[in-house]
């Protein structure tokens, strides 16, 4: 798997690049800002671009803006945005704009290198990955007369795992359920959230987006 990395902190950027180099991840280039990353991608194809959310010049949402430009110029390239803080609105904006091949993770996740590289592989494969801390923050917020109130506790667990980017097979292993049971829960979630099958919409993505919008 080939990745490029952009972060204005040289210590973090070079440290992460060195950690990834010790795995099967090929770090083909690094940059200190979004323009540098975009210039790198023009000449060097990668599977995933890793980008800090806050970089010069404004240190607000440069990473999100870079994700938009990467989608336009290199739609086949996955993007993982890293943040030091739990900022659900940025995670929602990223997923709404990229229905596949996207991730929003806290920088602390780098400490678990195996888990972090697994997230990179899922994004490279077209999956969606949302940091568990972001999911946990949003799931605690509920609305009166919300359709999510109809979900059972187990269905909420399944949907939370879906939001973190796990496949049905992975959810089966994580929750110690049979694959058939997980598939049954997923169908029930779609039904309760009013997501019938359609030819041009991905119900799994729509369910995750609806779940994350609970705020």
Domains of the chain (ranges plus CATH)?
Answer: 2-131 (3.40.50.2300), 141-212 (1.10.10.10)
Q: How far apart are CA 5 and CA 29, in angstroms?
A: 7
Convert the pLDDT of each residue in 23-33 to its tens digit.
989 999 999 99
pLDDT band at residue 76 under the 50/70/90 scheme? very high
pLDDT band at residue 191 under the 50/70/90 scheme? confident
Task: Specify the pLDDT at position 58.
Answer: 85
pLDDT band at residue 107 under the 50/70/90 scheme? very high
Convert the pLDDT of each residue in 41-56 to its tens digit.
999 999 999 999 999 8
Task: Specify the pLDDT at position 145.
Answer: 52
- Which of 160, 138, 156, 143 minimizes the C-alpha distance to 89? 138
Between 201 and 57, the higher pLDDT residue = 57
β-pairing verdict for 102-106 and 78-83 = parallel
**Angle value at C-alpha 120, between 190 and 43, nearest 5 degrees:** 120
- Which of 13, 83, 91, 94 minimizes the C-alpha distance to 52? 83
- Which of 19, 18, 57 minimizes the C-alpha distance to 36? 57
Lowest-pLDDT range of 109-118, 134-143, 174-183: 134-143
Q: Residue ranges of the alpha helices (H) in the chain?
A: 10-21, 34-43, 62-73, 88-97, 113-124, 132-139, 153-163, 168-175, 179-192, 203-212
Q: Give mean pLDDT, residues 160-188.
A: 92
Lowest-pLDDT range of 33-37, 72-76, 170-174, 211-215: 211-215
């Amino acid at each position: 798997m080939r990745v490029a990395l952009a972060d204005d902190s040289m210590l973090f950027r070079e440290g992460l690049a060195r950690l990834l180099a010790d795995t099967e991840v090929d770090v083909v280039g690094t940059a200190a800002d979004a323009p540098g990353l975009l210039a790198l991608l023009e000449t060097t194809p990668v599977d995933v671009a890793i980008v800090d959310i806050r970089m010069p010049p404004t240190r607000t949402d440069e990473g999100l803006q870079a994700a938009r430009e990467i989608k336009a110029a290199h739609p086949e390239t996955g993007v993982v945005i890293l943040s030091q803080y739990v900022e659900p609105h940025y995670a929602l904006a990223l997923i709404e704009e990229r229905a596949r091949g996207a991730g929003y993770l806290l920088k602390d996740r780098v400490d678990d290198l195996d888990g972090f590289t697994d997230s990179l592989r899922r994004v490279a494969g077209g999956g969606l990955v949302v940091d568990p801390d972001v999911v946990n923050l949003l799931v605690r917020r509920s609305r009166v007369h919300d359709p999510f109130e109809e979900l059972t506790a187990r269905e909420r667990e399944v949907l939370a795992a879906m939001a973190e980017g796990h496949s049905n097979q992975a959810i089966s292993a994580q929750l110690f359920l049979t694959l058939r049971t997980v598939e049954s829960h997923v169908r029930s979630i779609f039904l309760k959230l009013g997501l019938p099958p359609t030819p041009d919409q991905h119900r799994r993505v729509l369910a995750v987006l609806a779940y994350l919008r609970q705020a």
